[in-house]
Amino acid sequence: MGCGGVQVMFDDCAADSVCAAAYPDLEAQLYRVIRKLNAKPRPARPPHKTAYMPLLIDQVDQGKTDLLLPWLDDELHGRYPSSLFVWGLYFAVNCQDDAPSATPEAMAAQTAVYPQLDGYVRSAC
């Protein structure tokens, strides 16, 4: 529950010498990016692929969003060609499955662990 995946990403990066060297202050950097994006929202949001999140956090922190658009395009069109993928059905099923976990208690637990992410609920449809 909550943002355990975010902490796993921080821990995995810190445990990997290459990632840790490239992104030595990833957690602080993520929250700095969140503050920047909250102050000045950008029109694209990154897909959920934690292996690339350290790089994306670093790039967005530097004001570079070029990596987001091709990645998003691939996420939306590369894996799911519009002629073969029914987005309405996808969201109907995902929202049905995820909505029960977006309880007030789950959101409060997430906020308690990561107050910087207050208001963000991935499964809120």
DSSP notation for 19-79:
HHHH-TTHHHHHHHHHHHHHHS--S----S-GGGHHHHHHHHHTT--TTHHHHHHIIIIIS
Q: State the average pLDDT for the chain.
A: 75
- Radius of gyration (C-alpha) of the chain in whole angstroms: 16
- Confidence at residue 60, expressed as pLDDT on a 0 to 100 scale: 84
Give the 3-state secondary structure of residue 1: coil
Are the C-beta atoms of 23 and 54 separated by less than 8 Å? yes
For the chain, percent of residues with pLDDT exceeding 90: 13
CA angle, residues 36, 44, 109, in degrees to nearest 5: 60
- Confidence at residue 1, expressed as pLDDT on a 0 to 100 scale: 34
Quick: pLDDT tens for 47-96. Answer: 556 677 788 889 888 988 888 777 667 666 666 555 555 666 666 666 66
What confidence category does residue 14 fall into, taking pLDDT thresholds of 50, 70 and 90? very high
- Confidence at residue 46, expressed as pLDDT on a 0 to 100 scale: 57
Are the C-beta atoms of 56 and 29 separated by less than 8 Å? no
